[in-house]
Structure 1
Amino acid sequence: MPLRRPGARSGRVLTGLVLAAVCLTVAVSSGLAFFLGDSRTVVVASHDAVVTPTFDGYVALRTGPLLPDVRQATGGPIGVDLVLGKTQSSSVEELFARYAFIASEPDSQVAKVTAAVRDMAVSAALRGAALGMVPLGTWWLLGPHRRGQLFRGVRTRKGVAAALVLVSVPLLLWQPWSADEESQESQGEWEPLETFMAGFPIPAEAAGIEIRNSATTVQTQRLIQSAVDTYEKSTEFYDRAAEEAGALELHEPADDETVALVVSDRHDNIGMDRVARAIGDRAGATVVLDAGDDTSTGQPWEAFSLDSLNRAVDDLDRFAVAGNHDNGPFVAGYLDDLGWQMLDGTAVDAPWGGLLMGVDDPRSSGLGNWRDETGLSFSEVGERLADAACEVADDGERISTLLVHDANLGGESLARGCVDLVVGGHTHVQAGPELVEGEDGRAGYTFTNGTTGGAAYAIAVGSKPRRDADVSLVTYRDGHPVGTQWVRLRTNGVFVVGEYAELVLDDES
């Protein structure tokens, strides 16, 4: 057995350490470059926004050429630039009011940006690690003989020239000698919001916010002050309502009962989301039934509303249908991506042990689609829905709840005696429960929730509800609905609780 020289072993260790250091340096440097050079386009604060990570320790909101930029320290080394793009708004005043409203419930938007930055960090780390393995793979592929030839060649004129070319490649790609022209943005300086708004009260939550003091007019100051006022009023109103909801006198479910929280017609009012959740917690709700119209237009800029609702109830069982204002496929697709079970006319097992069925409003998502068929009227979809519900009933088990946006869509199903309860919204006025006698004496109930967003028409954004805001509770036992109760938050902040209404369904029903 040949003896190994001590120097050879130490040389291999040193080579290994150098190679590991090179791989690590390449992986870290390239990973950082990938991270800082990456970006994601997401919908934040009702805008298409480009999210780019930084290492300046600030979250900077770049609002465009007409409005001032704002930023706030993150408390850590990693920051992020948010460049706002397209949105839909009829006026600058409306846009500022929307900003203030979203700022009063920011968690869902912060979570979305955080997820985007985390995704970019993971992607950059994987790409950096892949590049970091290139030196190691090259070392192994060359082998000792070829490596020796290359190292000897470096000392030649040709080798020196090749080395200079290799060194110049990253320099040419970087081009540090090129620079942007002096810009309006670079001329502005950051100053605290309380200094910029001197003479106006600033909420404590705004501490640390800075604004770029460019050529901003008194008109902009007025808009900012209006937004601050909306923020303060909204936060105070909904925080107080959520706290008071925890002390409401509601029906308490028995151990063998399941409670579902019903929301509908939110129309972007994210302030009510924490109130609805507080009511649901007080009632012991473990299920959410969303009867649609979460938005006003069904456009991607309204993703903030869906993010807020989802964050408020993401630990509950969630079922939904799209309403007539949730136009197009965006709302249903977005909620589906967030983990909601979107009902499509097929019976599904409900958390309370019975069967649940529902379908999007025919006036949304393609104007009357029934699965793969389009162009159907409201009444035609109602008939198709009744056919599907009665087919299930003929097999021996009635639909315990039919979730629709407009309760009238379930009228034919009730008339045929195939469902226990139809739950809807749409009218913005609470109604029911009303007993409906179906065929062969098989009765069912219809129940309409009011507007959870407190919406007047399709508009609900503001410092408080524009009209009374409703949520409802449905109690189930042994797979069937046994009671309903509505809860109403008036525009003056006072709660009104409806009486618990028992639902009596005979054995034949």
Structure 2
Amino acid sequence: MTGRTPPRWLRWTLVVATAVAACVAFGVTTATATLSLGPHEAVYEVDTDGLVVADLGPLGTIEIDSPLPLGLGVDVTVKEIPADLTAVEGASTLDRLVGDLDQYLQFYNTPEVTIEAVARALAGDAVRRTLVALAVVALAGWGVRVLLGAARRRELAEWAAPRTWRLAAGTAVVALVATTVVSGDVDPPRAGRPATEVFAGTALEGARITGRLAGVVDDYGGQLTALYDENEAFYAEARGELSTAWDSWDIRHAVRTNLGQEAADGEDVVSMLIVSDLHCNTGMSGLIEESAVRSGADVVLNAGDTTMNGTAVEKTCVDSFAAAVPEGVPMVVADGNHDSVLTSQQEAAHGQIILDGGVVEVAGVRILGDRDALETRIGEGTSVARERTPAEQAAELAETACAENGVDLLLIHTPPVGTPALETGCVPFQVSGHTHRRAGPEQVGQGIRYVSSSTAGAASGQPTVGPLRGTAEMTVLRFDLDTREMLDTQLVEVTPDGRAVVHDRVPVPGVVPPVGELKAGVPGTGPSAPASDAPATVSPGPTAP
């Protein structure tokens, strides 16, 4: 027996490897995450039945063959739709159910975003559980070692050494069986159940529906599939139209540059793509990416209202828009009244720069901004959600702008909040959203204000999920780092019929000083503007479009 005993280093290697394997198996097979599935909150748990099973309670289940290796599956417990995503009063139960199914269109439009988020969350939880298990095993081993004492440890080592291989194999089998029992609390798959045909060609192809939901899907699934197909086709065609529109503009720009009618793009010019009021229309993600790439955007400016209600389940929307930004391009965000602190946290997790009352420098541009002081919730109205009112916020931004020498841009969601800062002359240019109507660039006080329309094509009283109901707009804004001036704006439009237009660049107007300063001989920053023009004013937009 002595000749068969492995050396000491090998015995300890086997002990450590067995412990690590058992802990990894435990961590992987017991990983959980709480995220969203369509409009619902959902709990995702790894199991060992080889299926992805979405438990919809009394409605039944949705089962899909798991893409995970080693027989691993995922058990999805779909919980309630959050209370702030309420149904319309007076609607029948069936109407509400059909409405809920319609909400899944957003999930079907970009399922890879949800899948990626779930995979990251489960992997992170598996790592945490593995590390905790390793710590417990190490502490337990150390405690047993201390309690046994040196003499007893020598006796046990002499007994265990020749049985090393059998003990290691037995320990591994017991650990794997134990973790399988812990994680495999879901009923095994039922053989022979046919896939639901209505999902053929969609992200859920091969899914098997059980319970009452199967009848609902049979009756109304065709409508949902038709909506999905319509949505996919619309935005694919719209992106193709947008690409063609950029091609056309590139040709026009090249000709004008060669003829000396336009200056060539300089190295010291920063391009910024403005998006605003996205309201969870993830269908626009591909078009945002197209414009960011084709415009050579160095920065993406998000003027707020990325979500509808700022809820946890709208993380899918935040993830989709974050994925649309080219790698290495920063996104600067001034969250709006339809967003929340949770939305800001979700955006920050993607590395986005969240404005919170201070000045940040991005790509050489000094940007001041803040998230909206108000919060609007569907069915609840608008209320002050911060420690200060919009008027107090406006005054603080003006004070900060004057205290911080050399602010280049003010980015906020609601346009009038920036008026005091513009009137002081401490902010030369402001970008906002909120009103769903484009305005400017035009002079307000001693600065220029530009109000972006909705990049989601948001129309009054219409949902933003699905094909566009109104014209979606983005704007390319260029800034000269040498002169510290905004050069021009370039409007990008996508219409409800899927057509796209990339407009020519329009120079930003110069600021006209007050009449008194003109009489005193003080030169303005915009000599091309007529001296008799009075500073323009813009009336506040509606509270919560």
With normalisation by structure 1, the TM-score equals: 0.80
Residues 1:240 and 2:217 are matched in the alignment: no
Pairwise CA distance, 1:451: 0.8
Which structure 2 residues correspond to residues 42-441 of structure 1 after superposition, within 5 A?
42-66=35-59, 68-74=61-67, 76-77=69-70, 78-88=72-82, 89=85, 90=87, 91-130=96-135, 133=138, 137=142, 142=148, 145-149=151-155, 190-194=193-197, 197=198, 202-203=200-201, 205-207=203-205, 209-216=206-213, 218-249=215-246, 250=249, 253-313=265-325, 315=327, 316-326=329-339, 328-351=340-363, 353-364=364-375, 368=384, 374-376=387-389, 378-392=390-404, 395=405, 397=406, 399-436=407-444, 438=446
Residue 266 and residue 501 in structure 1: after superposition, are their counterparts in 2 closer, same or farther (change >3 A)? Answer: same
In 2, distance between residues paired with 1:80 and 1:175?
15
Pairwise CA distance, 1:484: 0.8
Structure 1 unaligned residues grouped into runs of 5+: 1-6, 155-166, 439-443
Contact 1:481 / 1:503 at 8 angstroms: preserved in 2? yes
Contact 1:34 / 1:128 at 8 angstroms: preserved in 2? yes
Hey, what does 2:33 align to over in structure 1?
40
Over residues 38-84 of structure 1, what are the superposed CA-to-partner deviations in whole Å (9 max), with x where a residue is unaligned?
32222343332212113444433223322541324316334322222
Pairwise CA distance, 1:268: 0.9
Contact 1:482 / 1:502 at 8 angstroms: preserved in 2? yes
Which structure 2 residues correspond to residues 449-460 of structure 1 after superposition, within 5 A?
449-457=452-460, 460=463
In 1, distance between residues paired with 2:53 and 2:180?
25
Residue 204 and residue 92 in structure 1: after superposition, are their counterparts in 2 closer, same or farther (change >3 A)? Answer: closer
Residue 147 and residue 219 in structure 1: after superposition, are their counterparts in 2 closer, same or farther (change >3 A)? Answer: closer
SS at match of 2:375: coil
Contact 2:457 / 2:464 at 8 angstroms: preserved in 1? no
Residue identity over aligned pairs, in percent, reads: 23
Residue identity in the other structure for 1:321:
A
Contact 2:49 / 2:189 at 8 angstroms: preserved in 1? no
Hey, what does 2:468 align to over in structure 1?
465
Contact 1:261 / 1:289 at 8 angstroms: preserved in 2? yes
Contact 1:40 / 1:116 at 8 angstroms: preserved in 2? yes
- Count of aligned pairs: 466
Residue 204 and residue 86 in structure 1: after superposition, are their counterparts in 2 closer, same or farther (change >3 A)? Answer: closer
Over residues 460-487 of structure 1, what are the superposed CA-to-partner deviations in whole Å (9 max), with x where a residue is unaligned?
4432012111111111111432111121
Contact 2:331 / 2:353 at 8 angstroms: preserved in 1? yes
SS at match of 1:65: helix
SS at match of 2:301: strand
Over residues 337-374 of structure 1, what are the superposed CA-to-partner deviations in whole Å (9 max), with x where a residue is unaligned?
332211122122131x231111122213995577xxx2
Residues 1:485 and 2:490 are matched in the alignment: yes
Query: Which among 492, 498, 507 is matched to residue 502 of structure 1?
Result: 507
Residue 307 and residue 407 in structure 1: after superposition, are their counterparts in 2 closer, same or farther (change >3 A)? Answer: same
The range that moved more, 120-129 or 288-297, is: 120-129
Residue identity in the other structure for 1:87:
I
Over residues 396-423 of structure 1, what are the superposed CA-to-partner deviations in whole Å (9 max), with x where a residue is unaligned?
x2x2211111222212222222222111
SS at match of 2:29: helix
Pairwise CA distance, 1:135: 8.5
Pairwise CA distance, 1:98: 1.9
In 1, distance between residues paired with 2:316 and 2:145?
51
Residue 321 and residue 204 in structure 1: after superposition, are their counterparts in 2 closer, same or farther (change >3 A)? Answer: closer
SS at match of 1:338: coil
Over residues 472-507 of structure 1, what are the superposed CA-to-partner deviations in whole Å (9 max), with x where a residue is unaligned?
111111143211112111111011333311124479
Contact 1:273 / 1:308 at 8 angstroms: preserved in 2? yes
In 1, distance between residues paired with 2:370 and 2:154?
72
In 2, distance between residues paired with 1:301 and 1:36?
25
SS at match of 1:491: coil
SS at match of 1:288: strand
Contact 1:23 / 1:136 at 8 angstroms: preserved in 2? no
Pairwise CA distance, 1:424: 0.8
Residue identity in the other structure for 1:43:
S
Question: What RMSD in Å do the two structures reach over aligned CA positions?
Answer: 3.7
In 2, distance between residues paired with 1:31 and 1:333?
30
Over residues 269-323 of structure 1, what are the superposed CA-to-partner deviations in whole Å (9 max), with x where a residue is unaligned?
1111111111121111121111111111222222211111112216221111121
In 2, distance between residues paired with 1:83 and 1:269?
26
Residue 182 and residue 492 in structure 1: after superposition, are their counterparts in 2 closer, same or farther (change >3 A)? Answer: closer
Residue identity in the other structure for 1:191:
P
